[in-house]
Structure 1
Amino acid sequence: MEKNIRLAIAPIGWTNDDMPELGGEIPFEQCVSEMALAGFEGSEVGNKYPRDPEVLNKALKLRGLTICNAWFSSFLTTKPLKEVERDFVQQCDFLYAVGARVIGAAEQGNSIQGKPLPIFDAKPRFTKDEWKRVTEGLNHLGAIAKQKGMRLVYHHHMGTGVQTTEEIDRFMEMTDPDLVGLLYDTGHLVFSGEDHLAVLKKYLKRIWHVHLKNVRFDVVERAKREKWSFLQAVRNGAFTVPGDGGLDFAPVFEILKNAGYKGWWVVEAEQDPALANPLEYAIKARQYIREKAGI
């Protein structure tokens, strides 16, 4: 059963693409070398990664790594579908060339995740027309991905129109289960105040990619109380890796394994690398997964 599950880690613990000052000095080569050293076999894509597939593949092969996914910002609420489709095809082509068979999308047309606004109070909510544009657009993009032998997964995310359980439910109802799956992210669900295990159980068959992200509950409470933006919360340590923080991942691992999940589990925890040494935390996460999941 466990051989169906492959372990990856995201580069955001080394260099934060949304806040380049966090880890800006850490080179790409150090990042991927430390991923391999910590015992991971996959990586997602960061801004420092070479965009030439040949160059990237060589660097990864030297370290026994492969790319499993990359973030795609869809702007279906604010841009013409043709424009979004063009960017999506370009991203699919790149990802396919570097070994990924999953592409993770999140609607950014009205997102506040990068804005200096209170993450809870200013959260966007889709209008009826926006729901239609987002879900129909993603069905369209999902069909393109499927033709290429890839799977489109949607990343529910703090500060966006698909964040809460209710919004995830609506999104899943309005998208085609053959074309659009869910990128299940423990950290974003728990930060939002959702029941992460209930969401996991409900959508097991449509969860095609997993982000393992822990939270520090005291920081999240402070973010609510002091009306922090998302990036303020990140900077102050809202997220951390499995094996650190307040969430027990044993039930998550058990449910996924018992369901015969096939695909990637990705450790993704954006922190300030000056405060949370990336290699140290990568090793901590890897040991925890070994102990708790037997993988």
Structure 2
Amino acid sequence: MRVKIGISPIAWQNDDLPDLTAAYSMEQALREAREIGYTGVERGRRMPQDTEGLRSYLEANDIALCGGWCSGALMERSVAEEIEAVRAQVAQFVALKSPCLVYAECSNTVQGDIGVPVNDRPKLSRDEIRVYAGKLSELAKWMDGQGMVLAYHHH
């Protein structure tokens, strides 16, 4: 079996503080990723967002889609609402043969809120964790039925 390794463009481009890396083009990031041996990249914010545009862009840069970030809100939504919120991205990633979608719960994050220390972030009780895990499992099962793996990124 041959191993394929992918990387996120955020290794080159800061999504939280975009001004830090504004001069660094996506094309440069993709070129350098290929030069050091990566065969895939996650979908980046500077890439086309429509499926055919993204397909053409990746093909033109000779690199595959290996996944991509999905800002979830399952803490605030029902599973049915979350499915509707992620449906288009799941369909796109299936169409582009991405091996996974990188799901992160972002509804209660303090990331990007400079006025809130990380130590003051929301914390879940055991019961809240159980409820959340059940909802996340339902979402993952739905995604699996669509042909997509949910990879969880904890925040």
TM over 0.5: yes
Q: Is contact 2:43-2:65 (8 Å) kept?
A: yes
Aligned residue type for 2:151: V
Counterpart position of 2:117: 118
Name the residue aligned to 2:6: 8
Task: Quote how far apart the aligned CAs of 1:62 are.
Answer: 2.9
Tell me the distance in 2 between the aligned counterparts of 1:88 and 1:130.
22
For residues 28 and 87 of structure 1, the distance between their equivalents in structure 2, rounded to whole angstroms, comes to 26
Q: What percent of counterpart residues are identical?
A: 31
Map 1:48-87 → 2, pairs under 5 A: 48-87=46-85
Residue identity matched to 1:109: S
Which structure 2 segments of 5+ residues have no match? none
Counterparts of residues 21-170 of structure 1 (less than 5 Å): 21-116=19-114, 117-119=116-118, 121-157=119-155
Tell me, which stretches of 5 or more residues in structure 1 are unaligned? 158-295
Match of 1:261 in 2: none
Residue identity matched to 1:104: V
Cα distance in structure 2, aligned partners of 1:148 and 1:94: 11
- What are the Cα deviations for residues 157-183 of structure 1, in whole angstroms up to 9, with x where unaligned? 3xxxxxxxxxxxxxxxxxxxxxxxxxx
Q: What is the TM-score normalised by the length of structure 1?
A: 0.48
User: Which digits, 9 at most, give the CA deviation of each residue in 1:38-86, with x for residues without a partner?
Assistant: 3210101111110122222222223331011111122111234333211
- Displacement, 1:128? 4.3
Determine if contact 2:79/2:139 at 8 Å carries over to the other structure.
no
CA distance in 1, matches of 2:17, 2:81: 26
- CA distance in 2 between counterparts of 1:106 and 1:25 reads 27
Once the two structures are TM-superposed, the CA of residue 33 in structure 1 deviates from its matched residue by 2.2
Deviations 1:229-258 (A, max 9, x none): xxxxxxxxxxxxxxxxxxxxxxxxxxxxxx
CA RMSD of aligned residues (A): 1.9
1:94 and 1:100 map into 2 onto residues whose CA distance is 9
Deviation of the 1:118 alpha carbon: 2.5
Q: Secondary structure at the match of 2:151?
A: strand
Give the number of equivalent residue pairs: 154
Does the residue aligned with 1:69 lie in a helix, a strand or coil? strand
Measure, in 1, the Cα distance between the counterparts of 2:148 and 2:10: 23
Q: Give the Å deviation of 1:26.
A: 2.7
